[in-house]
Homo-oligomer: A and B are copies of this chain.
Amino acid sequence: MRAPAKLKDVAARAGVSPAAVSRFLNGSISLPAATIERIEAAIAFFDYRPNAHARRLSLGRSDTIALVVPEIGNPFFAELAAAAERAAAAEGLGIMLFATENRLERELEYLSRLGRSDVDALLFVTNHADEDGRLAAAIGHAAQVVLLDEDVPGTGVSKVFADNVEGGRLAARALIEAGHRRLFLAGGPPALMSARERAEGFRAAAREAGLPEDSVEALAGDYTVAQGRRAAEAMLASPVGPTAVFAASDQTMLGLLEVFRARGIAVPDEVSIVTFDDVVPLAFFDPAISAIRQSIGEMGRIGVQRVIAGMKGGAAAEVIRLPIEFVPRASVAAPRDSTQAKKPTRRRP
Closest chain B CB from A267 CB (angstroms): 10
Chain B residues with Cβ below 8 Å from A79 are: 73
Closest chain B CB from A284 CB (angstroms): 5
Asked if residues A281 and B284 are in contact (CB atoms below 8 Å), the reply is no
Chain A residues numbered 274-304 whose CB sits less than 8 Å from any CB in chain B = 280-281, 284-286
Give A47 to B49 CA distance when docked, in angstroms: 35
Asked if residues B53 and A60 are in contact (CB atoms below 8 Å), the reply is yes
Find A54's partner among B50, B57, B258 (CB 8 Å cutoff).
B57
Residue of B nearest to A63 (CB): B118
Give A85 to B73 CA distance when docked, in angstroms: 10
Given known A52-B118, A94-B96, contact A257–B280 (CB-CB < 8 A): no
Give A85 to B83 CA distance when docked, in angstroms: 18
A44 located at the interface, meaning its Cβ lies under 8 Å from any Cβ of chain B in the complex:
no
As a 0/1 sequence over residues 46 to 84 of chain A, the CB contacts with chain B under 8 angstroms (1 = contact) are 010111111011001010100100011101001101110
A172 located at the interface, meaning its Cβ lies under 8 Å from any Cβ of chain B in the complex:
no
Residue of B nearest to A94 (CB): B96
A2 located at the interface, meaning its Cβ lies under 8 Å from any Cβ of chain B in the complex:
no
| Copies of this chain per assembly | 2
Among listed A109-117, A160-168, A306-314, A320-328, interface-contacting one: A109-117
A263 located at the interface, meaning its Cβ lies under 8 Å from any Cβ of chain B in the complex:
no
Chain B residues with Cβ below 8 Å from A286 are: 261, 285-286
Given known A78-B78, A95-B96, A257-B284, contact A51–B117 (CB-CB < 8 A): yes
Give A49 to B108 CA distance when docked, in angstroms: 14
A212 located at the interface, meaning its Cβ lies under 8 Å from any Cβ of chain B in the complex:
no
Closest chain B CB from A79 CB (angstroms): 5
Interface residues, chain A, with chain B CB atoms under 8 Å away: 4, 47, 49-54, 56-57, 60, 62, 64, 67, 71-73, 75, 78-79, 81-83, 85-86, 89, 94-99, 112-113, 115-118, 254, 257-258, 261, 280-281, 284-286
New A-B contacts (11) at CB < 8 Å, excluding given A52-B116, A73-B83: A52-B62, A53-B60, A67-B97, A75-B75, A81-B97, A82-B99, A96-B96, A96-B97, A254-B281, A258-B284, A286-B286
